[in-house]
Structure 1
Amino acid sequence: MESMLGKQQAVINEEVLERQQMIDCRPAMVLEGRVIICQRCGTRHVKTDVRLPSGHYYCPSCSRYGRITSEHQLCWQSSQVQPIDHQVVFPGVLTTFQKAISDRLVRNYQEGRSTLVWSVTGSGKTEMMFETIAAARQKGARVAIVSPRIDVCRELHPRIQQAFPNEACLLLYGDSEEPYRYTHLLVATTHQLLHFYRSFPLIIVDEVDAFPYEGDEQLRYGLQQALTENGALIYLSATPSDRLLKEISGTFQIEKMPLRFHQRPLIVPQLYWLEKWRRLDQRKSWRRSFVKELQRLAEKNFVLVFCPSIPYMERVAAVIAKELPDYSISSVSSKDVQRSEKVTEARQRAFQILFTTMILERGVTFERVSVIVLGANHSIYTKSALVQIAGRVDRKGAFNHGEVLFCYNQMTPAIRKAIAEIKAMNQLAQRWLADDL
């Protein structure tokens, strides 16, 4: 029973009858004519396609979370609301601009309104959430802080723990070391919300525009199912998509934050023509100018080199490492079993140059860093991705002349829009500073 506290679980019908006085249940599958609907993930299937020999039906769409059939009930045990007076332990002081948005977020939550915080990278958007989380906890509400990216969740968890030292806070994702237990604060991947039903009066979604949440109907369903009736959402994004802006139009408040915490402007990417970027590993002459730029940047800062694919990254990183034997060079991708360790080592400046894929596009902070995007015109680099990648530079600490280079051999709408958006946010920031709100 303990595992059902605040979390739903698929239970065979016969088992439900034995303990129905202690839990709430709903059918796992709902029949609707020729269609059967999974109530865990919201997917609709033609009955004949998912019929088992036993006569029951199953859902193949969410089977990775545990098999679910029409023989199951989704059951959970509700928790008691316990108002608690918690104070936030801020690691620093909110700026005037951050405090204004923080106050509006608290007001929106108390009035039952959802909010999109459209906030540039490095603006301290997590810290702007703390007062709203505290307001929810003072009412006894349970709060989920979620993101599509595991790396973002790992970054968020210690910051939430630091801000709320008197609260138990669980970090939950697919391969998380700690099993589920009931806590009033939960940091999790958006996938984990499929295991909850009407559990959270407040859900904060960091990087709401990120893959795989963006455009995934199953994850969107899970989010809505995990939210209590009349609950509030807070979406955080530096690069909300047109689809998202259209979806929330008229139902969400939108708060823009064009200023970083240190109030320096975003670094505007430089365009660097690299004719043979696709074949850098094949001829030394094709990469000569690139290697010189790489050395120039590495003399001042740690350098992150973003690559459009894992095989490409591995090939280019290998030849550059041979060509620059005096430099500490490594690479990291989603398939790297040492992924977490390498990110930690990069923060400790174990490398001078780190080749990476899109896994470090967002949610990670390095001091004294410059960024290169190899093949910025590749289709994998959307406008949002390019803005996020550029936002890795000058997020924290004193300015150390970090640069952003978009290496390309063809101009794309994504490159144009990314640079235009960065410049537009910088112009809005200048107006804010001039007007002082």
Structure 2
Amino acid sequence: MGQIVIRDIGIPAIRFGICQRCLSADTRSFMCHHGACRYCRNCLHLGRLCQCDFLGEEDSTTPVESTNLVMPFELLADQKHVSRQLLIWWKSQTSGLVHAVCGAGKTEMAFPVIERVVNEGKRVLIVSPRRDVAIEWAERLERAFSVPITRRYGGGDKDTIDMITVATAPLLLNLKHVFDYVLVDESDAFPFAFNMALWQTIRRAGRGVFLFVTATPTVWQRQFPTIHLSRRYHGHDLPVPTLVKKTDEAIITFCRRETPRLLFVPTKADLVRYGEWLEANGFTCKAVSADTNERTDVLEWLETTNGIVLATSIWERGMTVRGVDVAVLDSEHVLFTSRGLIQMAGRAGRKPDAPTGDVVFFYNERTFRQDRAIKAIEQANRR
């Protein structure tokens, strides 16, 4: 158990075209100091691994220690019910799914079971789909727990493993059988969705109980024992999207509101196109995509200035702004799945002092994905 590292002797790093560090078959021929060789492209960010290298394991875990938990707020009755179920699943070593609506307070509901696992001398892993979400998890955990939190994502710590680790999946590629409790946050999101290599990586890093947490589970995740939470922690309904035929006048009317406005677009090219169009109509806006380095700065700007932000689906999860109104431009686009539309709508009304917000799906044509997203939100409100 531990971290897979390059050694002078051990198992061959690449066997039969398969990388033994990350189990990828994406190997390419090149010339190394031994002559003709192959190297793995999938885990290149962990250092180049050649066919002539050897692999071994080393224990990079810190000494076992216990923790104290300071809850940031008292859980409500429904949240306590979910939290108790997580403790039951841990005791029986059962993997399961928490199907909770956007803004239900999923993070804090997991704190009691994390405390239990750590105080039994076991290690916890929280896997996040994106660095932004991982940072938010790490900050909340550091405020609540007394043990150090390992940040295993871009810019974080990759050398040691504490009792609690927050990571993105690509930085788990060289870990094997380290964690006793693995919580996969937003488990249906990109890059998790349909990426079997990443799921194999997560499975190999763990060795005990797996917990999947999301508001929009996939079909295979629904096969696990499931607990539902259909209300947000402040008790208000989820904002139900309104379908509006897309016209220039309708978009301009939406953008003239005096609240923070978040407009989702399908692609990075649409960021440029709509950004130029909005500026030509007298609006100041900022754009967010996977290439935006300081997304936290844009988030603060949006909330403090009541501004307008154009974003790709990179912001469909893991961001919260008080009082934001949400619009999805070209909501019929093939890149906007029903799960994605639900998550985008879930950005509105997340704060207890601003529990409502408008969500508009602008469309050129109606699709079943729009209708399915609206129906799922209405069903959650009726539970």
TM-score by length of 2: 0.92
- What CA distance in whole angstroms lies between the structure 2 residues aligned with 1:293 and 1:44? 48
8 Å contact kept, 1:367–1:397 = no
Q: In structure 1, what is the equivalent of residue 201 of structure 2?
A: 222
SS at 2:300's partner residue? Answer: helix
Q: In structure 1, what is the equivalent of residue 70 of structure 2?
A: 89
Percent identity of equivalent pairs: 30
Question: AA paired with 1:333?
Answer: S
8 Å contact kept, 1:383–1:415 = yes
1:61 and 2:42 are equivalent in the alignment: yes
For residue 173 of structure 2, the aligned residue among 179, 185, 194 is 194
1:106 and 2:87 are equivalent in the alignment: yes
Q: Which moved more, 1:109-118 or 1:54-63?
A: 54-63
8 Å contact kept, 2:100–2:215 = yes
- What CA distance in whole angstroms lies between the structure 1 residues aligned with 2:226 and 2:356? 32
- What CA distance in whole angstroms lies between the structure 2 residues aligned with 1:65 and 1:203? 22
1:287 and 2:248 are equivalent in the alignment: yes
8 Å contact kept, 1:81–1:140 = no
Q: In structure 2, what is the equivalent of residue 167 of structure 1?
A: 147
1:120 and 2:101 are equivalent in the alignment: yes
Q: Residues 177 and 131 from structure 1, CA distance in 2 versus in 1: closer, same or farther, beyond 3 angstroms?
A: closer
Which one has a bigger Cα radius of gyration?
A: 1
Q: Which string of whole-angstrom CA distances, capped at 9 and with x for unpartnered residues, describes residues 280-306 of structure 1?
A: xxxxxx5123201221xx22x211011
For residue 134 of structure 2, the aligned residue among 153, 163, 168 is 153
Aligned-residue RMSD, C-alpha: 2.3
Alignment of 1:2-13 (within 5 A): 6-13=2-9
- What CA distance in whole angstroms lies between the structure 1 residues aligned with 2:157 and 2:39? 29
- What CA distance in whole angstroms lies between the structure 1 residues aligned with 2:150 and 2:252? 44
- What CA distance in whole angstroms lies between the structure 2 residues aligned with 1:45 and 1:329? 40
- What CA distance in whole angstroms lies between the structure 1 residues aligned with 2:62 and 2:298? 42
Q: Residues 97 and 352 from structure 1, CA distance in 2 versus in 1: closer, same or farther, beyond 3 angstroms?
A: same
Q: Residues 27 and 99 from structure 1, CA distance in 2 versus in 1: closer, same or farther, beyond 3 angstroms?
A: farther
Q: In structure 1, what is the equivalent of residue 379 of structure 2?
A: 424
Stretches of structure 2 that go unaligned for 5 or more consecutive residues are: none
1:209 and 2:188 are equivalent in the alignment: yes
Shift of 1:216: 1.0
Q: In structure 1, what is the equivalent of residue 277 of structure 2?
A: 319
Q: Which moved more, 1:378-387 or 1:331-340?
A: 331-340
Q: In structure 2, what is the equivalent of residue 271 of structure 1?
A: 243
Q: In structure 2, what is the equivalent of residue 280 of structure 1?
A: none
- What CA distance in whole angstroms lies between the structure 2 residues aligned with 1:412 and 1:187? 37
Q: Residues 119 and 73 from structure 1, CA distance in 2 versus in 1: closer, same or farther, beyond 3 angstroms?
A: same
Q: Residues 158 and 79 from structure 1, CA distance in 2 versus in 1: closer, same or farther, beyond 3 angstroms?
A: closer
Question: AA paired with 1:185?
Answer: I
8 Å contact kept, 1:330–1:355 = yes
Q: In structure 2, what is the equivalent of residue 18 of structure 1?
A: none
Q: Residues 375 and 111 from structure 1, CA distance in 2 versus in 1: closer, same or farther, beyond 3 angstroms?
A: same
8 Å contact kept, 1:258–1:425 = yes
Q: Which string of whole-angstrom CA distances, capped at 9 and with x for unpartnered residues, describes residues 175-219 of structure 1?
A: x15553332111111111112111100111101101011111221
Shift of 1:242: 2.0
- What CA distance in whole angstroms lies between the structure 2 residues aligned with 1:57 and 1:369? 51
Alignment of 1:325-336 (within 5 A): 325=283, 328-336=284-292
Q: Residues 336 and 44 from structure 1, CA distance in 2 versus in 1: closer, same or farther, beyond 3 angstroms?
A: closer
8 Å contact kept, 2:101–2:231 = yes
Q: In structure 1, what is the equivalent of residue 338 of structure 2?
A: 383
- What CA distance in whole angstroms lies between the structure 2 residues aligned with 1:79 and 1:311? 44
Question: AA paired with 2:110?
Answer: M
SS at 1:7's partner residue? Answer: strand
- What CA distance in whole angstroms lies between the structure 1 residues aligned with 2:234 and 2:26? 51
Query: Which has the larger helix fraction?
Result: 1
8 Å contact kept, 2:263–2:311 = yes
Shift of 1:337: 3.5
Shift of 1:117: 0.6
Shift of 1:60: 3.2
Shift of 1:6: 4.4
Q: Which moved more, 1:208-217 or 1:331-340?
A: 331-340
Q: Residues 263 and 44 from structure 1, CA distance in 2 versus in 1: closer, same or farther, beyond 3 angstroms?
A: same
Shift of 1:399: 3.4
